[in-house]
Amino acid sequence: MTRNECAAWLRERDHFCILTHRRPDGDTMGSSAALCLGLRALGKTAHVLENREASPFLSACHAGLSKEEAAEGDTLITVDVASPGMLPKAFEPLLDRCALRIDHHGSATSFTPVELVDPCAAACGDIVYDLLLELGVTLTKEMAWRLYIAVSTDTGCFRYANTNAHCYTVAAACAETGAELYPITQELFDTNTLGKLKMQSYIVENARFLCGGKAAVCAIPKAMEETVTKDDMEGVPGFLRSIEGVKISATLRQTEEGGSKMSVRAVPGYDAAAVCARFGGGGHKGAAGASLTLSLEDAAEVVAEALKEAVEGGIGN
Ligand SMILES: [Mn+2]
């Protein structure tokens, strides 16, 4: 669907319940909340479905908007969910009832009858902003700070390669409302916990550099991860990529089931999604992930090989 068709689709319906993805980030939380507020501004009944995995800071996006269960006749919308596997476990029973998917992931598995997907959008926040315009909704402060969280999160505070003119337009519109944006920037991009710095120090000491430093792999054992909080792990995959000279990086962690999961980050010219696709995963060119059934040590070996191939001109660039 185009944004225009999607706006018409929303106008024709009511009783919306909006679903976010597992391990929720600022984009899924902020854009779902802004959409919910926009629909309410049109006189519709709208809620977001409570996502218990959200951090306290991001949970604030959903304050006053969430409900614990979807009702029988609700129109279910997913935001920032690229595939059924990205839904939180608690939402899985609702999969067949999802009616509309709003998303910006390049590689995705469709699971709804209709969808508004724009891989050129840096964040779902950009798409929701356009939808609100189409719907004739006036942006309020309450919508604005949530949209700003969405767009700033997925652009790394307007630093990543996906940042485009539209992102700045959204940010400017958010600022125009008078919403306080600096506290968001400070919390999300200018604050380090000691746990996060400790994790970065572990990565500096233990990363393996390949192809003359263009690729890097770091496996983080569970024992190390257990010394920090879940929030301390935010942004950790991006940290390895940010080391000078690194074009593509993979950060591996152990799963509860004894397997591993990897987060790949890449600069333009390298394709994180292509590397992850080899392991059944996906995502964006700049950021992607996959799960492996291998132990951490074995996974680190195979992934290192895949990165080498990607850099040396195989797939992935
Ligand atoms: Mn997103």
State in Å: Cα 82 to ligand 1 middle.
9
Residue 314: the pLDDT is 56
State in Å: Cα 27 to ligand 1 middle.
5
State in Å: Cα 212 to ligand 1 middle.
32
Q: Encoding tokens for residue 267?
A: 């600069």
Collect residues with CB below 5 Å from ion ligand 1.
Answer: 27, 80, 154
The total of other beta-carbon atoms located within 10 Å of residue 295's CB is 14
Contacting residues for 34 by C-beta, under 8 A, at least 6 apart: 125, 128, 129, 132, 143, 146, 147, 150
State in Å: Cα 146 to ligand 1 middle.
13
Does CATH place domain 194-311 in 3.30.1370.60?
no
Q: Is the pTM of this model over 0.85?
A: no
Mind giving me the DSSP string for 189-209?
Answer: HS---HHHHHHHHHHHHH-EE
Which pLDDT tens digits describe the chain residue by residue (317 residues)? 999 999 999 999 999 999 999 999 999 999 999 999 999 999 999 999 999 999 999 999 999 999 999 999 999 999 999 999 999 999 999 999 999 999 999 888 999 999 999 999 999 999 999 999 999 999 999 999 999 999 999 999 999 989 999 999 999 999 999 999 999 999 999 999 999 999 999 999 999 999 999 999 999 999 999 999 988 998 899 999 999 999 999 999 999 999 999 999 999 999 999 999 999 999 989 999 999 999 999 999 999 999 999 999 754 44
State in Å: Cα 312 to ligand 1 middle.
29
State in Å: Cα 158 to ligand 1 middle.
14
Q: Domain spans of the chain?
A: 3-189, 194-311
State in Å: Cα 286 to ligand 1 middle.
12
Residue length, the chain? Answer: 317
Question: Which residue is it, tokens 């920037």?
Answer: 185
- Whether 181 contacts 148, CB under 8 Å: yes
State in Å: Cα 118 to ligand 1 middle.
11
State in Å: Cα 51 to ligand 1 middle.
16
Give the CATH class of 3-189: alpha beta
Rounded to 5°, the CA angle 286-287-292 comes to 135
